[in-house]
Amino acid sequence: MQPFTWLARTHLLSAAGDALIAIALAGSLFFNLDPAAARPKVALYLIVTMAPFALVGPLIGPLVDRSRGGRRGMIIGAGVARAVLALLMVRHLNSLLLFPEAFGALVAGKTYHVAKSAVVPGLVREQSDLVEANSKLMLLSGLGGAIAAGPGLLLSLISSRWVLVLASVVFVLMTFPAARLPRQAIRPPRLPRREAERPGGHRHDFGRPAQGVEWQAETGQPWDPSYDSPLAEPYDPGYRDPHEPGYGDQPLADPHGRGVDPGAGRGRPPQHFGAESGAVEPEVRRGAMLLAGSAMGVVRAMTGFTLFLIAFWLRADDAAPWWFGFMFTASALGQLAGAVLAPPLRRRVREEALLVSVLSLAAAVSLFVATAGDRVSVLGLAMVIGFMSSMGKLCFDAIVQRDELPADHGRAFARFETRFQLMWVIGALVPVIAPNGILPLRAGVTLLGVAATAAVFLYAGGLWALARGRRTPSEVIATRMKTRVNTRRRRHRDG
């Protein structure tokens, strides 16, 4: 059986367990937040949602990369931890102890998602299959939640405690397919600054492993060649150390025979990003990845903003309760459409182009809804935002899995997810703390369109600049703002 199949089964059970915990807590004091509560309480609730990510970022990411048991061990550990915490919540369902236990379950869940995202690149055959693999996992997540909803709701009629017991059993079952995942290599420690020859003409500098070589954490020596690491990078005969003499005096060789932009190494990088471009400077890949992270941060902020904007607008408009259900259903359908359409679209265009396209679609629809302002058009906006969120997440995950060093996948995903959750909270807080608690729909949707348009300009313009070795628009804007601030400070000091 293929290793990805074991991950798929693990993810299905993990999603089912998370859904059962959510059902169990729905009637508890954990979710007893009155919708008509004062704005400070809602704002405090949003800020509290940042807590698991604040812990995941600095601690869990490096732990996932350096754990002796590897990413597989972290996945199994996250399942065991959630199983134990679910049993503890059975006793404290109506107690204040439920809060730290639920918090621990959230942290364990985020740990699982970071480790899962770090495992995916080693379980696919081609890097172009990353979007499809992530899409399958997203669809399985929805399927797992749907499967668990039936028995979870039936047990909740008896007692929420039985739902938690079932969740604990599901998390235990999750560890069995997780144990069949390949063992991931341990991240090597930083070695003293040196340069050593490697087989095939590879060099090693500043303690970073050369391509195609996995290093033992205990001895600092290469792994045995017979060790089959699913994350090991393939041998790249076109690799050259940028610190070696003469680097940049001639075009880089492309082992795949496609050729590389002759301008590479002479002040500007190749014209394309990712593995498909052959040899690409690490700085270029990292720059493109950071640009994608910034664009995805805008996507997450728009998602949180839209959710609370529509909720407050419907409440102010005295909408019937089913309109709230319609909005959530439209958003869910948009997310499902994004997960289904992402793989076939990726076969035609790259992840970067897909991310620019969904941002452009969101900008166009937002500006259209600003002129309409009726509930049907807002339904369409909710669907488009859901589609953008799903498609953007799949594309961004694939970009990080493709361009980040394999040994750094855990910390990269933890770092970006922390930023994304912060952006989601910031976006959600805007309609929450708006004057009188309500931001006018037209003004809010117009703000969405402006934000999406700016994101398209900065992301697409940044990719264009990187491909030509120039400064990105965000760097230019930041430099000008810094210059103006320094000028004003100087005038204030002199005056």
Q: Which of 346, 288, 348, 242 is nearest to 468 (CA)?
A: 288
Per-residue pLDDT, 270: 40
* Number of C-beta neighbours around residue 366 at 10 A: 24
Q: How many angstroms separate the Cα of 278 from the Cα of each of 76, 243, 380? A: 36, 19, 41
Examine the pLDDT at 209 and tell me if it is beyond 70.
Answer: no
Q: Which of 140, 159, 452, 444 is nearest to 314 (CA)?
A: 444
What percentage of the chain exceeds 70 in pLDDT? 69
Mean pLDDT of 145-162: 87
- Please say whether the beta carbons of 403 and 353 come within 8 A: no
Mean pLDDT of 194-213: 39
**CA–CA separation, 209 vs 231, rounded Å?**
13
- Please say whether the beta carbons of 61 and 415 come within 8 A: yes
Tokens found for residue 60: 């869990």
* Tens digits of residue pLDDT in 444-458: 899 999 999 999 999
Examine the pLDDT at 64 and tell me if it is beyond 70.
Answer: no
Mean pLDDT of 112-123: 84
Examine the pLDDT at 471 and tell me if it is beyond 80.
Answer: yes
What amino acid occupies position 422? Answer: L
**CA–CA separation, 29 vs 12, rounded Å?**
28
Q: What is the DSSP letter of 275?
A: G
Examine the pLDDT at 465 and tell me if it is beyond 60.
Answer: yes
- For tokens 């471009």, the residue is 277
Q: How many angstroms separate the Cα of 457 from the Cα of each of 246, 269, 355, 356, 361? A: 37, 21, 12, 9, 13
HSE at residue 215, side-chain half, CA atoms within 13 A, is 20
Give the burial class of 225: count Cβ atoms within 10 A of its Cβ; 0-12 exposed, 13-18 middle, 19 or more buried.
Answer: exposed
pLDDT band at 286 (very low <50, low <70, confident <90, very high): confident
SS3 call for 205: strand
Give the burial class of 287: count Cβ atoms within 10 A of its Cβ; 0-12 exposed, 13-18 middle, 19 or more buried.
Answer: buried
**CA–CA separation, 61 vs 408, rounded Å?**
9
- Please say whether the beta carbons of 226 and 110 come within 8 A: no
* Averaged pLDDT score across all residues of the chain: 75
* Tens digits of residue pLDDT in 74-84: 889 889 999 99
pLDDT band at 41 (very low <50, low <70, confident <90, very high): low
Mean pLDDT of 131-157: 88
Per-residue pLDDT, 23: 85
Q: How many angstroms separate the Cα of 157 from the Cα of each of 27, 171, 220, 296, 317? A: 11, 22, 57, 40, 33
Tokens found for residue 242: 């940028």
Examine the pLDDT at 374 and tell me if it is beyond 70.
Answer: yes
E strand residue ranges, 227-373:
none
**CA–CA separation, 298 vs 462, rounded Å?**
15
Q: How many angstroms separate the Cα of 283 from the Cα of each of 36, 194, 266, 479? A: 49, 21, 14, 20
Per-residue pLDDT, 295: 92
Per-residue pLDDT, 266: 35
SS3 call for 330: helix
Examine the pLDDT at 423 and tell me if it is beyond 80.
Answer: yes
Mean pLDDT of 34-59: 63
Examine the pLDDT at 472 and tell me if it is beyond 90.
Answer: no
Per-residue pLDDT, 84: 94
- Please say whether the beta carbons of 330 and 353 come within 8 A: no
Examine the pLDDT at 251 and tell me if it is beyond 80.
Answer: no
* Tens digits of residue pLDDT in 262-284: 333 333 334 444 444 444 566 77
Q: Would residue 276 be called left, alpha or beta, if left means φ above 0 and alpha means ψ between -120 and 50 degrees?
A: alpha
Residues 432, 435, 438: CA angle, nearest 5 degrees: 55
Say what the pTM is. Answer: 0.69
- Torsion angle of the four alpha carbons 431, 435, 437, 442, in this order, in degrees rounded to the nearest 10: -50
Per-residue pLDDT, 42: 64
Q: Which residues contact 299 (CB under 8 A, 6 or more apart)?
A: 358, 359, 362, 388, 389, 392, 393, 455
SS3 call for 222: strand
Per-residue pLDDT, 475: 84
More confidently predicted of 218 and 160: 160
